[in-house]
Amino acid sequence: MEGLLKKTTGLMGLAVCESPHEEPDVKNLEDQLQGGQIEEVILQAENELSLVRKMIQWKPWEPLVEESPANQWKWPI
């Protein structure tokens, strides 16, 4: 399978990544990751990196500026 390049991911809006990894056998890499196609794994990693950058700005670990309403986290509403 080495040297075989994908022509499509089969997923609308998700293009084939031309250089997903240094490993020549991308199918083997996808099987090892068990996360779908390599393009999906790359997209998920980019989304997680974006979230990390937002969390750094939002600082959710810091105390609230105001106290939350008494039953805000009570379930069911």
**Cα dihedral 41→45→47→53 (10° resolution):** 180
Residue 17 has a CB neighbour count (10 Å cut-off) of 17
Asked if the model's pLDDT at residue 7 lies above 60, the reply is yes
Long-range contacts of 60-69 (CB under 8 A, 24+ apart): none
Residue-number span of the structural domain to which 41 is assigned: 26-58
Task: Please tell me the total count of domains within the chain.
Answer: 1
Tell me whether residue 15 is in a domain: no
Q: What is the structure's pLDDT at 3?
A: 52
AA letter at 56: I
Question: 74 in a domain, yes or no?
Answer: no
In a domain, 6, yes or no: no
For the beta carbon of residue 18, count every other beta carbon within 10 angstroms: 7
What is the model's pLDDT at position 21? Answer: 75
Confirm whether 16 is domain-assigned: no
Residue 19, in any domain of the structure: no
64 in a structural domain: no
pTM of the model: 0.66
- Average pLDDT over the chain, rounded to whole? 87
